[in-house]
Structure 1
Amino acid sequence: MNNKNNKTCHHLRPSLLASAVLVGLGSLPAHAFELDTGIEDLQVRFDNTVKLNYAQRVESANSKLANSWNNNDGNRNFSAGSAVSQRIDVLHELDVVYRRQFGFRVSGNSWYDHAYDDVGSANASTNQYEDGVADSRGLSSYADRYFNGPSSEVLDAFVFGSVELGEESLLSGKVGSHTQYWGETILAFAHGNSYGQSGLDIAKALAVPGTEAKELFIPRNQISMNFLVNPELSFGAQYFLDWDASRLPESGTYLGFNDAIQHGSDDLSLIAQGNPMFGVLPGAPQFLRLTGGHTYTPDKRGDYGLMAKWSPEWLDGTLGLYYRNTSDILPNLALQVGAIGLPQLRSGVVGEYNQFYVDDIDVYGLSLSKNIGGVSVGVDVNYRENMPLASVPANVNPLAPAGKPGFVSSFDGEDGVARGNTVHAVVNGLTTFADTPVWDGASLLMELAYSRWLDVTDNEQLFKGEDWYRGVDKVTRDNFVLGVNFTPTWYQVFPGVDIHLPMTYNVGLSGHSAVQLGGNEDSGSYSVGVGMDVRNQYRFDLKYVDNFGPFDTCESTTDGAAPGANGLYNCAPGQTTAFAGTPAQLKDRGMVTFTFKTTF
């Protein structure tokens, strides 16, 4: 009996160590280049992935969207037929492993996009101001770095190690900049157990519909540990040493949808009413505006998470339990209008707006992964306390009566948004199809997400689910969204060449989510294209990408989405007043993209 046990353990140990190494490194490129070190226990891999991307706008601007003063900079910067991306990215990856137990990984990305070499608009509606100076129109320095370049950044930079404890147990960990993805959600990142675990590359999500949520994660400095008790039970923990927001398309970039947020601009137009001195005082702008003030961010340290996974033989699957205390990764706005006199009416600047990210969100999650009838099924369910809810920008006014819609009497850097408790659920299935008369093979991913807000615990007067709010994105109690990725494949169409036909479709089926980017009814995105793998090393993709969704436009001066200081629903005729999510803001940005990628 003892000999049998020893034999089993001898077989298990390399598997445990290999698993720890794979967890430490993440996925390696198919053509990873391994250096010959001359040392048997030392493995070194160095890889470079080159990606070339060209994209061209093929859809003309919608006249109403092009006239939307706080949402139109990207629309005006790129006309139909113009290149919106001429980008080269080079990803460098270095992995060093010693004795299949310890090592480190460093990766970095470099880029340059010729399409952003000379981008800007002289249109009066631009948000590309700097401290109110009108002749500084153009991309911000931040947007210029990340969207134009040339520039680079370090992504992964961590050390890892593992040690066996007893016959079946393994303790492993990583320290440094890396990502951890908990749960089974694939597409609906706003509803998964992993929400807030890392900032998300939303610009990539919008440019490439159907991108898996874990591919959007931005590496974050942290300490993570995993303890494999036995093949059925494991525990995990992480403690964050840094915080970073999601990256949204900046003002002036092609897919920019909100010109006032993050680093893209320094200006927010007040479009509820026109400037009464427009056309009267020389130089007075059509609309008054606020300049960018302070951005309030959470403490860099302190977010943490705990996880347990159980894979009993009778279940033939894996259950996961999670708890995380996290900060938010999406911004909110607080508006502070000052005293207004003739100097302010002439300059147009009447105050400032602040951006802020809240913290102390509690996430309690459950997951299940299991194969059912040849379909790989994943389930995420989570309950969130103190979650920021979809809100109108908070107007800060010390004289505002308590509970006045859209107003708060004070602002301390995080209390300018409605907060409450929500429930989220995600169910997905991934399956493959064998050879048929139509294709040689195919893969299908379908994911349904659901959310429900339970109660509002703070700033109910800002919540878009209240009776006084009447925008097209008015929050409903329940919300359903659907995502579908389908890719048929034809193998060896030419020698060494496989052809793919990737298609994606994402849509809000019912209701409007109470959380940002959670989905809106009849709003979504889609893409259809053709891909080609050459010798399993060169990848070519040609796609059409577009968005859809409804939005509201002011038809009369009292047609706004929310009441102003006077209690009236003031708005400027012709201006947009509400959008059914981000896709509605981008519904006229249809584009064709061509991508080439290879690793060596």
Structure 2
Amino acid sequence: MNKNNKICHASIHRGLLASAILTGLGIAPVQAFEIDTGSQDVSVRFDNTVKLNYAQRVQSADSKLANAWNNNDGDRNFSSGSPVAQRVDVLSELDVAFKKTAGFRVSANSWYDHAYDDVGSFNPSTNQLNDGKPDSRHLSGYAERYNNGPSSEILDAFLFGNTEVGDESLLSGRLGKTTQYWGESVLSFTHGVSYGQSGLDISKALAVPGTEAKELFIPRTQLSTNFTINPQWSIGAQYFLDWNAARIPESGTYLGFNDGIQSGGHNLSIIGAANPLFGEAGPLGANQFLRLQNGHTYTPDKTGDFGLMAKWSPAWLDGTLGFYYRKTSDILPNVVLHPTAVGPAQLISGVVGSYNQFYADDIDIYGISLSKNIEGVSVGLDVNYRHNMPLSSVAATVSQAAAAAGTPGFISSFNGENAVARGNTVHAVLNGLATFGNTPVWDSSSLLVELAYSRWLSVTDNEQLFKGEDWYHGIDKVSKDNYVLGMNFNPTWYQVFPGINMYMPVSYTVGLSGDSSVQMGGNTGTGSYSVGVGMDVHDEYRFDLKYVANFGDFDMCKSPGSVGRPGDGATPGVNGSYSCVVGQPTTFAGSSAQISDRGMVTATFKTTF
């Protein structure tokens, strides 16, 4: 087998998966536009993809979620029947290659969304502040840019080169802003070997259920190299020169599920009475809004993350084994609370302290993968062990006295990353892709099924913050094991009309059992789904109509609690009374539960030229 056949063999599994999932998502592959350079040595491709997207909320707000102080800005900004997207995106891609051995690639996306021109919450309990007072019409500058526009950003921007080494070997490399995706997980962006290789567009994952994990990656500046040694072995390495956080829906945007985090979070609402920060009885009445203002966001170093990879494709296996080691930083934020003593000035302003956001680093990931065709099914397996992994934790509160007393949920001081439980976990992803031919119901179809699993092995730091401890009573209490199922199904009908193919993509994801020990790892009974119809016209124009919804459970406070009579809160607080505010949610079974009332219909048109 020559090296070209080897490369083709090694990539066939990923190619089949990519083609099937892109089709299921309504993204038809197109041919690049070739520019005649007048030279056989220089090739230039330039593409522009235009996508128009309209979305409308069709589900009325749940009164409980609409009244959730720290989760309701997006709910109140968009009423049922109102547009939540009127967006145009233009993706431009330029690829230049010299003798197919060196060159560069640059891609950029530009956008504008009319639906966000006048977005702002009129809710007096909004989590946006202006000069210390609730702002009735406000989005953060970050949300204005990425959700409203008009704006643009560079995506890929890298140099590449490759050279043959001997008769069987090929050495290639990239330098610049790009992505690499290791392992075989397709739908699970949390449990695969690739976790943390780049930031992820969580907004897209929530808006388009079933999106392939690698389609969520945000390009990251890096130096990477791959060396195909022979038909059986290839090795690779990458060193990062930048760091990207996940893009979580911002406060006030339609799918925003936490109004305090990321760039759009200006403050967190707390309560005046029965507050675990203040003890049994707070300084004011239960209806008094008190707030912690957003302070500083601590991010990992831009350099230091790296990865090593080897792939082995022995003839007897008729497949490919992958071996990986990665040193990475987390891409999901944690929060630490800094309440202060309440005096006259704090009572007037309503601000009683601050909170900081931070991202953990120094995570080790050891992984193996397998890709193989079994009885006509393209099978992928990812298994990885994580050391020093951030675990699902309560928001830590800084209090030296409470920490000294061993009170759950408290730490004595904050150094920029220590306010989260850490431990060791194991994760696995198993998927299979099957295609089916002509039946009485459809002309062809593809089915992708993926099962993700996680298990926490030990807690090594800040056990008093871990949601898996007995003292934690939230609906998202961590279990030892966690299973999540994802599915994409796409039946196809060819030439329904001359030049027109029809599709009916269906996606479904649900937590089967247990609550994951890592953020966004999955919760029992929580998930999302979409069902729609698509039309491909002459392989040039794509039209899609979908219904998208999220689902999940949450706990409500019915009893506020007092000394000797525990309430419905999730944590004991300084007095052990599990205090909470009647009528407020206490905990959610994952992010999808927080937006479980935001079902929408989307209509999309896409073409490339």
Q: TM-score range by the shorter chain?
A: over 0.9
Whole-Å separation in 2 of the counterparts to 1:419 and 1:278? 36
1:398, distance to aligned residue in structure 2 (A): 1.9
- 2:447 aligned with 1:438, yes or no? no
Distance 1:278 1:337, change over 3 A: closer
The within-5 A match list for 1:476-495 is 476-495=479-498
Whole-Å separation in 2 of the counterparts to 1:279 and 1:328? 39
8 Å CA contact 1:96–1:105 kept in 2: the answer is yes
1:399, distance to aligned residue in structure 2 (A): 1.8
- From 579, 599, 602, the equivalent of 1:593 is 602
Q: Tell me, what secondary structure is at the counterpart of 2:445? A: strand
Match of 2:169 in 1: 169
- From 418, 422, 426, the equivalent of 1:423 is 426
Match of 2:460 in 1: 457
8 Å CA contact 1:560–1:577 kept in 2: the answer is yes
Whole-Å separation in 1 of the counterparts to 2:379 and 2:294? 46
1:265, distance to aligned residue in structure 2 (A): 2.4
- 2:364 aligned with 1:362, yes or no? yes
Match of 2:542 in 1: 539
Q: Percent identity?
A: 70
Match of 1:205 in 2: 205
Match of 1:3 in 2: none
Aligned partner letter, 2:514: G
Whole-Å separation in 2 of the counterparts to 1:208 and 1:544? 10
- From 580, 583, 607, the equivalent of 1:571 is 580
Whole-Å separation in 2 of the counterparts to 1:405 and 1:97? 58
Match of 1:470 in 2: 473
Whole-Å separation in 1 of the counterparts to 2:172 and 2:70? 48
Whole-Å separation in 1 of the counterparts to 2:75 and 2:396? 27
Match of 1:291 in 2: 293
1:537, distance to aligned residue in structure 2 (A): 1.2
1:30, distance to aligned residue in structure 2 (A): 1.5
8 Å CA contact 2:272–2:284 kept in 1: the answer is no
Whole-Å separation in 1 of the counterparts to 2:81 and 2:235? 53
8 Å CA contact 2:93–2:107 kept in 1: the answer is yes
Whole-Å separation in 1 of the counterparts to 2:334 and 2:131? 21
Whole-Å separation in 2 of the counterparts to 1:416 and 1:279? 30
Whole-Å separation in 1 of the counterparts to 2:445 and 2:272? 51
Match of 1:580 in 2: 589
8 Å CA contact 1:541–1:595 kept in 2: the answer is yes
Whole-Å separation in 1 of the counterparts to 2:338 and 2:318? 56
Whole-Å separation in 2 of the counterparts to 1:362 and 1:518? 18
1:279, distance to aligned residue in structure 2 (A): 7.5
1:133, distance to aligned residue in structure 2 (A): 3.5
1:535, distance to aligned residue in structure 2 (A): 0.8
- From 371, 393, 396, the equivalent of 1:394 is 396
TM-score (norm 2): 0.93
Aligned partner letter, 1:524: G
1:400, distance to aligned residue in structure 2 (A): 2.0
Deviations 1:139-173 (A, max 9, x none): 01110000000000000000000011111001000
8 Å CA contact 2:126–2:136 kept in 1: the answer is no
Instruction: Identify which range, 397-406 or 48-57, moves more after superposition.
Output: 397-406
Distance 1:19 1:473, change over 3 A: closer
Distance 1:14 1:525, change over 3 A: closer
8 Å CA contact 1:274–1:288 kept in 2: the answer is no
Distance 1:363 1:18, change over 3 A: closer
Whole-Å separation in 1 of the counterparts to 2:255 and 2:499? 36
Whole-Å separation in 1 of the counterparts to 2:130 and 2:272? 23
Whole-Å separation in 2 of the counterparts to 1:401 and 1:484? 44
1:29, distance to aligned residue in structure 2 (A): 5.5
Whole-Å separation in 2 of the counterparts to 1:140 and 1:242? 24
- 2:70 aligned with 1:70, yes or no? yes
Q: Tell me, what secondary structure is at the counterpart of 2:402? A: coil
Distance 1:164 1:16, change over 3 A: farther
Whole-Å separation in 2 of the counterparts to 1:381 and 1:431? 22
Whole-Å separation in 1 of the counterparts to 2:330 and 2:103? 32
Deviations 1:75-100 (A, max 9, x none): 00000000000000000000001101
The within-5 A match list for 1:498-513 is 498-513=501-516
Aligned partner letter, 1:562: T
Gaps of 5+ in 2: 20-27, 276-281, 561-566
Q: Tell me, what secondary structure is at the counterpart of 1:473? A: coil
8 Å CA contact 1:35–1:44 kept in 2: the answer is yes
Q: Tell me, what secondary structure is at the counterpart of 2:155? A: strand
Whole-Å separation in 2 of the counterparts to 1:329 and 1:491? 42
The within-5 A match list for 1:91-490 is 91-130=91-130, 132-135=132-135, 137-271=137-271, 273=273, 286-402=288-404, 403-490=406-493
Match of 2:519 in 1: 516
1:121, distance to aligned residue in structure 2 (A): 1.4
8 Å CA contact 2:124–2:136 kept in 1: the answer is no
8 Å CA contact 1:132–1:266 kept in 2: the answer is no
1:416, distance to aligned residue in structure 2 (A): 0.2
Distance 1:330 1:131, change over 3 A: farther
Aligned partner letter, 2:186: I
Whole-Å separation in 1 of the counterparts to 2:138 and 2:263? 13
Poorly superposed stretches of 4+, deviation over 4 Å:
12-20, 26-29, 274-280
8 Å CA contact 2:477–2:515 kept in 1: the answer is yes
Whole-Å separation in 2 of the counterparts to 1:271 and 1:78? 26
Q: Tell me, what secondary structure is at the counterpart of 1:230? A: coil
1:339, distance to aligned residue in structure 2 (A): 1.7
Aligned partner letter, 2:436: F
1:342, distance to aligned residue in structure 2 (A): 2.0
Whole-Å separation in 1 of the counterparts to 2:401 and 2:130? 30
Aligned partner letter, 2:557: C
Aligned partner letter, 1:334: V
8 Å CA contact 1:17–1:101 kept in 2: the answer is no
Match of 1:31 in 2: 31
Whole-Å separation in 2 of the counterparts to 1:269 and 1:214? 35
Whole-Å separation in 2 of the counterparts to 1:293 and 1:84? 30
8 Å CA contact 2:506–2:530 kept in 1: the answer is yes
TM-score (norm 1): 0.94
Match of 2:24 in 1: none
Whole-Å separation in 1 of the counterparts to 2:382 and 2:10? 24
